[in-house]
Amino acid sequence: MSASPRFFTEREAALHSTKDSCWVLLGNRVYDVTSFLRTHPGGEALILGRSGGDVRREMEGPPHRHSENARRWMEQYYIGELEGDSGTDEAQTLRERRKASETGDETTDENADYNRCSSVDLDKDLVDWRKPLAWQVGHLGEKYDAWVHQPVDRPIRLFGNPLLEASTKTSWYWVPVVWLPIVFYVSWHCYTTLAKGTTRLDLTSGISVPIHKYFFPPLFLLGWFLWSFIEYCIHRFVFHMKPPGHNYYLIMIHFLLHGQHHKSPFDGSRLVFPPGLASLVVGSFYLLLCRTLPEILGTSVFVGGLCGYVVYDMIHYYLHYGSPKRGSYMYGLKAYHVKHHFEHQRAGFGITSTFWDHPFKTVIPGEKF
């Protein structure tokens, strides 16, 4: 039989109201949300201000009614029950369950610390979490889309081979370490080349205009702007394609590219692109620009786009793990992105900004936090 829940008094729950130990109540259910403080989209201060107390009103709103996914997510932090007033039926039920555990009718280990309950039932879930998931998800068929958009707070193992598994993980700092030196060097190369005054853009067979070094900043910003459009398109049309249920391989590819991120959105090792995979997109962007524009002009636009990509990856990581100041631009962007994960998976595709969501009509309705 399952272990009986642990019981707490209201006074005991109220003592846990710090960053090091933060509990909240939902009726008579007790949750240890300490590990969620940093990633809460509304900021840790909102939870700390209600620590030790009942958050039912906040969950229902206004101003913000939490989604079903958010409620399911919260169950991962459940640790036990609150002792109620002696006269209530619920309190009587809790006392009976406690008595059963004390007399040995239920299996329990009094010397063991409490365990957080996970919303993932290892015996009933659609996949076997004890095994690598990459080869399993394709068999989910039509059930895959609903399953992948029910997020969990647990690590995902994609492959059994340790080297292959390690290749899918990237610490955030590798993005600036690998790409920023290239951005700086190529920017310097483009600027100094344009400063020689020998670059000209041919408009017709007999007409050309000189391209001076002062053109580099606009070309750089143009590349950054083009990247913002590419960012939106990749996120919407590639990462959020809905693979047909009968296609095992497309489902698997989708899960490897982006599905695993929606299933486990706070897996810090898979929030940025591995440089090897990113280099394919970066290289394609460079070749396209250099075939469309004179080489030095294409390169100037390219390096702006590359810088935009680095900023994109860093902002994406920050939106999941940062704690922006309430009312700031990043605060609103974080709330916007988390709503994309938990409630509006078919909208809100902008990461560094919501600019392209407006003309393409994929803006998530605004709410206050």
- Give the single-character DSSP code of 369: -
Residue 118's pLDDT is what?
41
Q: Which fold has domain 6-102?
A: Flavocytochrome B2; Chain A, domain 1 (3.10.120)
Residue 59's pLDDT is what?
76
Residues facing 82 on adjacent strands: 8
Q: Which residues have C-beta within 8 Å of that of residue 250, sequence separation ≥ 6?
A: 243, 244
For the cut 90, the answer to whether the pLDDT of residue 3 exceeds it is: no
Q: Are 359 and 228 in contact (CB under 8 A)?
A: no
27-53 confidence digits (pLDDT tens): 888 888 887 777 776 667 777 777 777
Q: How far is CA 93 from CA 12, 90, 100, 116, in A?
A: 20, 5, 11, 22
Q: Are 110 and 35 in contact (CB under 8 A)?
A: no
Q: Which helix (H) or strand (E) holds 79?
A: strand 78-82
Enter the tokens of residue 149.
């958009």
Residue 87's pLDDT is what?
42
> What is the torsion angle, in degrees rounded to the nearest 10, for the CA atoms of residue 242, residue 246, residue 252 and residue 258?
10
- From start to end of 118-264, where are the E strands? 200-202, 208-210
Binding residue positions for Zn(2+)? 235, 240, 258, 261-262, 316, 320, 337, 340-341
Q: Are 108 and 2 in contact (CB under 8 A)?
A: no
CA torsion sign for 195, 197, 198, 203 is: positive
CA torsion sign for 178, 179, 183, 186 is: positive
Model confidence, pTM: 0.74
Q: Are 70 and 341 in contact (CB under 8 A)?
A: no
For the cut 70, the answer to whether the pLDDT of residue 351 exceeds it is: yes
Cα 31 vs. chain centroid, distance in angstroms?
Answer: 22
Residue 109's pLDDT is what?
39
157 versus 294: the higher-pLDDT residue is: 157
Q: Are 70 and 344 in contact (CB under 8 A)?
A: no
Q: Rounded distance, CA 118 to CA 153, Å?
A: 8
Binding residue positions for heme? 40, 66
Binding residue positions? 40, 66, 235, 240, 258, 261-262, 316, 320, 337, 340-341
Q: Rounded distance, CA 244 to CA 195, Å?
A: 53
- What is the rounded average pLDDT for all residues in the chain? 83
Domain boundaries, the chain: 6-102, 162-357
Q: In the sheet that 78-82 helps form, which strands lie side by side, from edge to edge?
A: 6-8, 78-82, 29-32, 23-26
For the cut 60, the answer to whether the pLDDT of residue 320 exceeds it is: yes
Residues facing 24 on adjacent strands: 31
Q: Rounded distance, CA 88 to CA 268, Å?
A: 44
249-284 confidence digits (pLDDT tens): 999 999 999 999 999 988 889 999 999 889 998 999
Residue 96's pLDDT is what?
53
